[in-house]
C-alpha cells in the first residue's frame, strides 16, 4: 500500500474531523484567495477602465490630477492633433448644472463640454447625451426635452439662465459613479450655456494610432508645451498605485499573511493532535517494518489531502465571497461604477496554489518529526498495553 | 580706493539691514512638520512663497511655528506639505492684479453652530438666501462615508474568519471527544448522568474559546503599537490606524464564548447520546 493510499484510508476513517478541517481550510483559503484578488484587482480594473475609454494619453495643467483649466488649451490641442502618431484629441471641461423635467424634482448633474479634433465643434442648439442615472432621475430619454441650468463655477458670479435641451442619446461615462448624473454637450454649446466666449479645457485626452508609443507622445507633448503635464495611462495607473490604492494593497498583504499563518497553525495543530491520538497505531506500523520514510510520506499526504481539498474548494467559495465583498466596497461614494476591487488574474491563482503547497508541507513538519522519532517499544507498551 | 558698494563689509551690512527689514515686515506663517523637514526649515526662517513655479507673484513670510497637521483619514496617503497664514496675507499673495474682485473671493467659510442648531435647517436657510452658494454639513451622512463602507468590509472579513475558526475549533473538539471515547463510556457506566458530562464538555469548550479569545486580544494589544508605528512611519502621519478598545475586546470574547460551548457540545453529542456499548466499539 502506497503512502497516499494509507493517508487516504486515515482521512476517510476520520471523516468528521477531515471534513471539518477541509471546511476550515476552505473558508480561510477563500479569504486568502480574495485578498490575492484584492491586492491587484483595483489597479487592473482601473487600468481597464482607462484603456476602455480609447484614449492613451491625458494632458493636464498641473502635476497630479487637479482639475484646473489648461491655459490656451485650443492651441496645444491643435498642436497635439498634428503629431503623426495621434489619431484624435478630445478637449474636456465640466461644471455643475441642474436639470429639471416636468413633475420631477430637480437633479444636480455634471455638465461635460467636449470638443473632438476629428469632428466639427459647433453650437447647434442644446443637444445633449445623458447617462442612464439622469434619464431615470428626470424620466427622460432620447427625444425628450428638459431644462438645464449651468451652476456657477468658481469664476462665475451669477447663475446662468435655464436652457431647454434635447436628449439625442444615452451615453456611458466610464468614470461616473453609480449615482452620478451626467450630460454631455459639444464644447461650442458648452460655451454658449455658460455664457463665456472662451473656455479652456481642463483635460485633453489623446487617442493614438495603432502601434504608437504613449511614452514617446507624452515626451513630445512636453516639448510642445513644457508648462503642461502629459501622462500615459500606465503613468496614471502607477501614480494611483503609489497613492490612492496603497491602503487596499497593504490590507490585502496583511490579511494574506494572517490567513496563511492561521491556516498553517490550525493544520499543524490538527495533524499534531491527530498524530498524538494515533501514536500506538503508528508505533505498530513501525514495528511491522514500515519505514520511517513511508510514515513521513503518509503524514505529508494526509496534510496535502486536507489542505489540497480545502484549497481547491476555496476557489469557488472565494469567487462567491469576492462578489459579496466587492459589492460592499463598491458602495464607496464617488467610485466609478465600472471599477471593481476583486479582479481575477492568473497570478493570483498561482500564488494561491504556491502558498497552500508550502503551508501543507510546513504544517506536516512537526507531526512527521513526532512520528519519525517516537520510540517504538515504549510507545507500544504505553499505548497498547 | 575701493568703492563703498564693492566693499564686502558694506555689502554684508546692507544685506543684514535688508534682512532685518524683511524680518520686521514679513508676515507670519505656520508650516507643517513635514514641510519643515522636507525644506529644512526652522522657526524664525524667512521663506518666499510664489503663486507659480516660475516665481510669479511672490511674498516673504517668517516661519512663526511648526505644527503637526490634524490627522485626516481621507488624506493619509498624501504628503502634508502645507502651511497656514492669516487670510489677508493669503489674499494679498494670490489676488490677480488684473481682477481686483479676486481679492474679495474665498473658497469656503466654516461655521460653528450654536448648540442645538439643526445643521440641515441652517443650510436650507443659507441656500434660500444665496442660491448660488453650496452649503453642506461637515459631518458626512452614513451613505457618503467611505469609512462606514470600510467598516462593513472589515466586519464581513471578520465573519468569514469566524466561520473558518469555528470549523477548526469543531475539528479539534471532535478529536478531543474521540480521544475520550472510552473514558466517557466508563463514566457513563458508573452512573454519571449524560447531562453532567455534557455540562463538562460545554465548560471545556467555553474555557478553550475564552482562553483563545483572551490570547487573541492580548496579541492584538501587543501588536497594536507595532502596527500603528509601522503605518505612521510609512505614511508620515500621526493617524492612529488600530485601537484595541475595551468594548471591542469584550465583543471578541462574547462571540467566542458561545461558539466554544456549541463546538464542545456538538463534538461530544454522539458520545453522550449513543449507547454505552457502542462507545466500547461492541
| The three cell numbers locating residue A206 | 489623446
Per-residue pLDDT at A159? 59
Of the three residues A191, A211, A231, the one that is the final residue of a domain is A211
> In chain B, which residues have their Cβ closer than 8 Å to the Cβ of A269?
168, 172
Which helix (H) or strand (E) element contains residue B30?
strand B28-32
- Using a cut of 0.95, tell me whether the model's pTM lies above it: no
The ipTM, to two decimals, is 0.74
Residue among B153, B157, B174 whose CB faces A17 most closely: B174
Q: Per residue in A352-382, is it b (16+ CB within 10 Å) or e — as a string?
A: beebbeebbeebbeebbebbeebeeeebbee
pLDDT > 90 in chain A, percent = 27
Residue A157 has pLDDT above 50, yes or no: no
Strands A86-100 and A229-232, sheet pairing: unpaired
Judge whether A223 lies within some domain: no
Residues within 8 A of A (CB atoms), B 200-239 only: 231
CB contact under 8 A, B132 and A324: no
For B190, list phi and psi in degrees, rounded to 5: -80, 0
**CB of B77 within 8 Å of any CB in chain A?**
yes
Which pLDDT does position B26 carry in this prediction?
86
Residues A84 and A186 in one domain: yes
A177 and A261 co-located in one domain = no
A27 and B167: CB-CB below 8 Å? yes
> Do A205 and A321 reside in the same domain of the chain?
no
A228 lies in some domain: no
In A67-86, which positions are buried (b, 16+ CB within 10 angstroms) versus exposed (e)?
eebbeebbebbeebbebebb
Residues A31 and A72 in one domain: no
**Based on the domain organization, do A75 and A161 belong to the same domain?**
yes
On whether both A65 and A40 belong to a single domain, the answer is: no
B20-59, pLDDT tens digit by residue? 665 567 899 999 999 999 999 999 999 999 887 777 778 8
A67 shares a domain with A34: no
The tally of domains found in chain A comes to 2
DSSP state of B262: H
Residues A106 and A21 in one domain: no
* Pair A148, A107 in one domain: yes
Confidence of residue B212 (pLDDT cuts 50, 70, 90): confident
pLDDT for A154 equals: 44
Per-residue model confidence (pLDDT) at position B263: 83
Q: First-to-last CA distance in chain A?
A: 27
| Residue A157 located in a structural domain | yes
The proportion of chain B whose per-residue pLDDT surpasses 90, expressed as a percent, equals 13
The contact set of A with B (CB < 8 A) is 14, 16-17, 20-21, 23-24, 26-28, 30-31, 151-152, 157-159, 243-244, 246-247, 250, 255, 259, 262, 266, 269-270, 273-274, 277, 321, 324-325, 328-329, 331-333
Same structural domain, A81 and A184: yes
| A252 and A110 both lie in a single domain | no
Across the interface, do A23 and B153 touch by the CB < 8 Å criterion?
no
H/E element holding A226? none
Kindly indicate the confidence band of residue B227, based on its pLDDT and cuts at 50, 70 and 90: confident
A252, A325 Cβ separation under 8 angstroms? no
Q: CA of B172, closest CA in chain A: separation in Å?
A: 6
Is B180 an 8 Å CB contact of chain A? no
**Measured between alpha carbons, how far is A260 from A264 in angstroms, rounded to an integer?**
6
**What does the alpha-carbon distance between residue A110 and residue A113 come to, in Å, rounded to a whole number?**
10
CA atoms within 13 A on the CB side of B256: 24
Structural domain containing residue A260: 3-50+244-383
* Residue where a domain terminates, one of A165, A194, A211: A211
Residue A127 lies in a domain: yes
Q: Do A333 and B143 touch (CB under 8 A)?
A: yes
Tell me: do A194 and A297 sit in the same domain: no
Quick check: is A254 in a domain? yes
Residues 6+ apart with CB under 8 A from A340: A41, A42, A45, A326, A330
Q: Is residue A193 part of a domain?
A: yes
Q: For strands A57-60 and A203-208, give the pairing.
A: antiparallel
Maximum average pLDDT range among A309-323, B151-165, B186-200:
A309-323
The residues, ordered by sequence, that sit 6+ positions from A323 with a Cβ below 8 Å of its Cβ are A342
In a domain? residue A103: yes
A117-147 tens-digit pLDDT: 877 767 677 889 999 999 999 999 899 999 9
Count of beta carbons in the 10 Å neighbourhood of residue A299: 28
Residue A38 lies in a domain: yes
Nearest chain A Cα to B161, which residue? A28
Amino acid at each position: 500500500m502506497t503512502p497516499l493510499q494509507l493517508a487516504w484510508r486515515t482521512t476517510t476513517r476520520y471523516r468528521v474531523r477531515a471534513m471539518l478541517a477541509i471546511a476550515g481550510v476552505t473558508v480561510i483559503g477563500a479569504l486568502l484567495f480574495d485578498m490575492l484578488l484584492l491586492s491587484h484587482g483595483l489597479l487592473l480594473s482601473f487600468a481597464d477602465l482607462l484603456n476602455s475609454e480609447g484614449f492613451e494619453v491625458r494632458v493636464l495643467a498641473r502635476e497630479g490630477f487637479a482639475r484646473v483649466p489648461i491655459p490656451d488649451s485650443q492651441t496645444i490641442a491643435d498642436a497635439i492633433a498634428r503629431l503623426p502618431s495621434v489619431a484624435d484629441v478630445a478637449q474636456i471641461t465640466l461644471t455643475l448644472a441642474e436639470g429639471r423635467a416636468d413633475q420631477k424634482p430637480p437633479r444636480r448633474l455634471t455638465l461635460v463640454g467636449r470638443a473632438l479634433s476629428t469632428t466639427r465643434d459647433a453650437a447647434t442648439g442644446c443637444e445633449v447625451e445623458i447617462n442612464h442615472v439622469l434619464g431615470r432621475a428626470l424620466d427622460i430619454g432620447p427625444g425628450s426635452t428638459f431644462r438645464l441650468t449651468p451652476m456657477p463655477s468658481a469664476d462665475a458670479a451669477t447663475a446662468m439662465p435655464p436652457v431647454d435641451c434635447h436628449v439625442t442619446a444615452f451615453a456611458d461615462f466610464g468614470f461616473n459613479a453609480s449615482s452620478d448624473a451626467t450630460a454631455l454637450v459639444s464644447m461650442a454649446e458648452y460655451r454658449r450655456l455658460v455664457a463665456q466666449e472662451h473656455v479652456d479645457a481642463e483635460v485633453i485626452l489623446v487617442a493614438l494610432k495603432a502601434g504608437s508609443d504613449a511614452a514617446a507622445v507624452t515626451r513630445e507633448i512636453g516639448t510642445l508645451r513644457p508648462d503642461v503635464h502629459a501622462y500615459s495611462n500606465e503613468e496614471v495607473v502607477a501614480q494611483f498605485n503609489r497613492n490612492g490604492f496603497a491602503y487596499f494593497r497593504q490590507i490585502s498583504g496583511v490579511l494574506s499573511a494572517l490567513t496563511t499563518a492561521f491556516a498553517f497553525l490550525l493544520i499543524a495543530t490538527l495533524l499534531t493532535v491527530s498524530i498524538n491520538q494515533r501514536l500506538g497505531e503508528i508505533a505498530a506500523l513501525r514495528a511491522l517494518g514500515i519505514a520511517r520514510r513511508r510514515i513521513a510520506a503518509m503524514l505529508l499526504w494526509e496534510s496535502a489531502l486536507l489542505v489540497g481539498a480545502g484549497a481547491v474548494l476555496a476557489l469557488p467559495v472565494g469567487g462567491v465571497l469576492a462578489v459579496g465583498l466587492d459589492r460592499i466596497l463598491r458602495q464607496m461614494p464617488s467610485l466609478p461604477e465600472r471599477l471593481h476591487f476583486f479582479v481575477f488574474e492568473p497570478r493570483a491563482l498561482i500564488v494561491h496554489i504556491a502558498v497552500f503547497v508550502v503551508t501543507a508541507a510546513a504544517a506536516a513538519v512537526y507531526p512527521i518529526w513526532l512520528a519519525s522519532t517516537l520510540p517504538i517499544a515504549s510507545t507500544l507498551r504505553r499505548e497498547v498495553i | 580706493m575701493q568703492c563703498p558698494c564693492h566693499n564686502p563689509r558694506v555689502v554684508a551690512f546692507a544685506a543684514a539691514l535688508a534682512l532685518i527689514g524683511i524680518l520686521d515686515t514679513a508676515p507670519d506663517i505656520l508650516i507643517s512638520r513635514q514641510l519643515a523637514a522636507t525644506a529644512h526649515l526652522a522657526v524664525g526662517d524667512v521663506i518666499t512663497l510664489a503663486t507659480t513655479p516660475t516665481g510669479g507673484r511672490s511674498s516673504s513670510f517668517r516661519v512663526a511655528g511648526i505644527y503637526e497637521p490634524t490627522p485626516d483619514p481621507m488624506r493619509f496617503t498624501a504628503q502634508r506639505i502645507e502651511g497656514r497664514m492669516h487670510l489677508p496675507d493669503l489674499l494679498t499673495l494670490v489676488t490677480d492684479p488684473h481682477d481686483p474682485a479676486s481679492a474679495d473671493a474665498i473658497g469656503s467659510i466654516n461655521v460653528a453652530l450654536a448648540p442645538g442648531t439643526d445643521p440641515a435647517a441652517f443650510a436650507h436657510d443659507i441656500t434660500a438666501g444665496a442660491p448660488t452658494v453650496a452649503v453642506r454639513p461637515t459631518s458626512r451622512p452614513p451613505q457618503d462615508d467611505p469609512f462606514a463602507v470600510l467598516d462593513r468590509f472589515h466586519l464581513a472579513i471578520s465573519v468569514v474568519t469566524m466561520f473558518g475558526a469555528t470549523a477548526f475549533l469543531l475539528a479539534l473538539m471532535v478529536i478531543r471527544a474521540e480521544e475520550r471515547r472510552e473514558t466517557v463510556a466508563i463514566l457513563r457506566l458508573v452512573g454519571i448522568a449524560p447531562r453532567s458530562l455534557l455540562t463538562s464538555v460545554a465548560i471545556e469548550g467555553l474555557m478553550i474559546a475564552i482562553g483563545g479569545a483572551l490570547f487573541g486580544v492580548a496579541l492584538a494589544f501587543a501588536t497594536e503599537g507595532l502596527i500603528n508605528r509601522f503605518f505612521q512611519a510609512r505614511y508620515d502621519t500621526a493617524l492612529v490606524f488600530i485601537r484595541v478598545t475595551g468594548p471591542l475586546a469584550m465583543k471578541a470574547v462574547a462571540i467566542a464564548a458561545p461558539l466554544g460551548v456549541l463546538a464542545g457540545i456538538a463534538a461530544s453529542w454522539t458520545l453522550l447520546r449513543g449507547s454505552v456499548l457502542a462507545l466500547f466499539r461492541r
